[in-house]
Amino acid sequence: MDIMTNLEAKKYLEQVLDQLKKETPTENLDNFEERFGESREVLKFENNYIYVIVKDPLTKLLIEKFNSRRMNEILTDLLQTKTGFKFITKEDAEKENKATEKLAQVDAMNFERSSRKLRAEFTFDNFVVGESNRFAFVTAMKIAESPYAVLNPLYIFGDVGLGKTHLMMAIGHYILDRNINANVIYTTAQQFTEDYFVYTKKDTKNIEFFYNKYRQADVLLVDDIQFLVNKPGTQEEFFKVFEYLHENNKQIVITSDRPVGELKLMNRLVSRFSWGIVVDIQSPDKDLRVNILRRKLEFMISNVSDVSDDCLEVIADNFTNNIRELEGALRRFITYCVSMNLPFTVENVYYTLDGIMPKNKNSENKDDQAVEKLKDVVSSYFQISKTDLLSASRKPNIVYARNICFYILRTEFKLQLVKIGEIFGGKDHTTVNYGYERIKDMLNENNNTKNDIQYIKEKLLK
């Protein structure tokens, strides 16, 4: 049975209890009334079970031990389909009802959020806080809790992809969550310019429609204000909107990729951006990058523990510029591993991200100084020529020496697979990875490989 209302379920419960009472010996009727006198309410029907509310844990235990099997038999005969009863205490039922109500409220809020012109996921709850963005976060929260106060406007600046738009939209969500009738307008400098052009290109009298759209805002969120540069007409109109909203105590939030003093806009506009408070967001440190990856992971896979901290740290170490790059790298790694049915390992982090990992200057300098020395040491140690080492020869001793090089360049110099392939005559990165993995396996199988690598590493340090 797929669907049953609580009213229908209660009717069936009464019928089952009536039958059960008829079957109960007269001397046990007092026990029957004690158990079922207050056990006639239904919580829900789910997965072919009618959930019956009982008064306490002892009653639940007694019914489950002495009555539930017969009740299920009667119900199955009555409905001609396999259906049963489950029992839940009144206290637990109240908790479940509260949880269901809260979930319904969350669902309703998420539905309402999805209709806003704000990205639904850009909330304060989803903003990962660290030392590089803490002051900006605290300030944004303060403004969201008390808009139209003294911190007006809020000017947030920082490089691309650090969370400025997220923080701005979080303010909008927070205000709308508490006052659905608030008129929160989000726009970009480009969209503001386009609106001005569209409203006035045919008839300048339409400027009033343009003004009305923005002057009706309770909260105006403007992204990437720097794109008003070289647009004096649009700057003038934005100045008028800004003045009107500020004088009428409406909250204004602005983001940019540069400090106020570096904006190439009209002076009177730039000066007003400093009236309230200016905050910046810096590049995230490693701890914050790892925490951001953990949070993003929750939206990508069901079991986040499948991805180790080591994997996240490798990504965090290599993608340091901004959060967009960081998230993009994680998404590529997860998508590739899931699509190809590969485990989430450190080796597969390097494999899937090898082509997009930023170049590491320290590693490149190390390459220039040490690769030739590595070739010399390995060639001498295994008594082969450097030409053989770089060749396509499949002789076991040469392949082994070459794989040793792959392993050391990967583990000690942190070179990418593609780069190592280039050093060894343009070999494919899959070949390099195979050789690297082969040495890893051999390290677990015998001590000779350990000794070979240890000797070569010591020679490199001299």
- At 122, which helix (H) or strand (E)? none
Domain 134-280 in this protein, CATH class? alpha beta
Q: Tens digit of pLDDT for each residue in 97-112?
A: 777 665 555 444 444 4
pLDDT at 345: 87
Distance between CA atoms of residues 359 and 357, nearest Å: 6
Span 133-145, average pLDDT = 93
The domain ranges of the chain are 6-95, 134-280, 286-353, 361-461
Element at 265 (helix H, strand E): none
Instruction: Give per-residue pLDDT as tens, 264-319.
Output: 899 999 999 988 899 999 988 888 999 999 988 888 888 888 898 888 988 998 88
Q: List the structure tokens of 32.
A: 């029957």
Where residue 366 falls among pLDDT bands split at 50, 70, 90? Answer: low
One-letter amino acid at 20 equals L
Does the domain spanning 286-353 belong to CATH 1.10.287? Answer: no
The mean-pLDDT minimum among 72-81, 110-119, 217-226 falls in 110-119
Q: Could you tell me which residues come within 8 angstroms of residue 399 by beta carbon, excluding any fewer than 6 positions away?
A: 393, 435
57: left (phi over 0), alpha (psi -120 to 50) or beta: alpha
The pLDDT assigned to 108 comes to: 45
Residue 115 predicted with pLDDT over 60: no
CA separation for the pair 306, 383 (Å, rounded): 44
The model's pTM is 0.57
**CA-to-CA distance for 394 and 383, rounded, in angstroms?**
16
- What was the pLDDT predicted at 101? 67
CA distances from 367 to 374, 385, 423 (A): 10, 20, 10
CATH number of 6-95: 3.30.300.180
CATH topology of domain 361-461: Chromosomal Replication Initiator Protein Dnaa; Chain: A; (1.10.1750)
